[in-house]
Structure 1
Amino acid sequence: MDMPGGEWNRTGETTEAKAALRRLAASRRDALEGPLRERWSREACGLAWAWMTEAGYASLMAYAAIRSELDAGSLLDQAWSASMEVFLPRVAAGGLLETGRVQSRSELVPGVFGIPEPAPAACRASGGALPELVLVPGLAFDESGGRLGYGRGYYDRLLTRLEEEAAGSGRQRPVRAGLCFSAQVVPEVPVDGKDRFMDMLITEKGITICKGRA
């Protein structure tokens, strides 16, 4: 039987473990040289595009890279050229991410953190739309599907909301793919009950179907 405070202790341990891994993962990713990140970004996006087109996807949600994240720009360009439905996130009030459909880079505007994002009108017009695939950035991932973000919970809340919207309308939830460098894949990411797991990881080395945790 757990002693009083046991749940708090486990939560505290997870929080500390996440903070430590964030520092390590950010340092490791930042240490990758710019030209190498650019090449690996193109290679990972090429693998993602080949898989998406073979699977017949017609819509996706991606992101505008910040800091030293894997740049999904080449994948976005291919999706726009193929007339796919492309959604990007927008930071809204209350720590939530909205989704907006965009048809070119020219439709993006500077967001709260200076990150290019859809205009508010694009998010309102996209209400109820559900991408088939969500490409998710992060600091660290593991092969069970665990993901470590920056600690604000933006993507966990978004993925939960998309899953609920899909269930409420009788649709299949979007496939969740972590898009990252192979150097970001670690043996195990510490997680808690609010963390959403990935279905697959896409890196410059290949595609891994996540096996989940027992």
Structure 2
Amino acid sequence: MPPDVVAAAGEALARRALELEELAPYLAPTGAPPETPPTVAAYVSIGGEPSTRALLDRLRAAGVRVLLPVLMPDNDLDWAPYEGAERLVRAGWGLLEPDGEPLAPKAVTEADVVLLPGLAVDRGGLRLGRGGGSYDRVLERLERADASAALVVLLYDEELLEEVPAEPHDRHVHAAVTPSGVHRFRHRPAG
């Protein structure tokens, strides 16, 4: 997709993601800020993915604790705090990662919301990833920890499909956010 389309989709996606019921109470312009801000595990988009830059900056500006993945040699994900675009460094596979000290792979279990990349999600909430297994491990870690985080995939509208192929390790998510809106799924993942 052309860069201007990716950027426009990213702006729309940021507006829609901030409407998530799991985040909206913390982002309301009125009232006192929460004693403990929410934690959102997110990611920096790459290539043709819908841009997450505007969303990351808006979450951070609202006082949300944002964690970003740090790719480990075995393709598992560690996590580090997002401290602004100027603190991102280019890493393996062309990914942008925080330059701060990683917290540990289990840091994701502290998240109230986990924003996930994906190639597609079906109408039942089954997420299709890129096949590297990094986020499958994250979802499995969350399930083992009995974490209650909302699992949300960020996609373009046309990536919300009737059905996607499934393997035994695939997990369902709670919602998908696209430039046109928030799409909730009936199937609720374990955890």
If the TM-score is normalised by the length of the shorter chain, which range does it land in?
Answer: 0.7 to 0.9
| 1:37 and 2:6 are equivalent in the alignment | yes
- Which of 54, 67, 75 is the matching residue for 2:24? 54
| Alpha carbons of structure 1 residues 66 and 173: separation in structure 2 relative to 1, 3 Å | same
C-alpha distance in 1, partners of 2:88/2:64? 17
Query: Which residue type is aligned with residue 133 of structure 2?
Result: G
When the two structures are superposed, what TM-score results if normalisation uses the length of structure 1? 0.75
1:110 CA drift (Å): 1.7
Cross-structure match for 2:153: 178
Q: For the Cα contact (< 8 Å) 1:181–1:204, is it kept in 2?
A: yes
4+ runs of 1 displaced by more than 3 Å? 124-129
Identical residues among aligned pairs (%)? 27
Q: Which moved more, 1:155-164 or 1:201-210?
A: 155-164
Cross-structure match for 1:192: 167
Query: Which residue type is aligned with residue 81 of structure 1?
Result: A
C-alpha distance in 2, partners of 1:127/1:153? 18
Pairwise mapping of residues 39-188 of structure 1 onto structure 2 (< 5 A)? Answer: 39-51=8-20, 52-56=22-26, 58-119=38-99, 121-124=101-104, 127=107, 130-165=110-145, 167=146, 172-188=147-163
1:64 CA drift (Å): 0.8
Structure 1: unaligned runs, 5 residues or longer:
1-31
1:88 CA drift (Å): 0.5
Cross-structure match for 1:209: 184
C-alpha distance in 1, partners of 2:105/2:141? 17
Cα RMSD of the aligned pairs, angstroms, is: 2.2
C-alpha distance in 2, partners of 1:163/1:129? 9
Considering only CA atoms, is the larger Rg found in Structure 1 or Structure 2? Answer: 1
Structure 2: unaligned runs, 5 residues or longer:
27-36
C-alpha distance in 2, partners of 1:193/1:124? 26
Query: Which residue type is aligned with residue 152 of structure 2?
Result: A
Q: For the Cα contact (< 8 Å) 1:146–1:196, is it kept in 2?
A: yes
Tell me how many residue pairs correspond in the alignment.
177
1:156 CA drift (Å): 0.8
Q: For the Cα contact (< 8 Å) 1:70–1:137, is it kept in 2?
A: no
Cross-structure match for 1:18: none
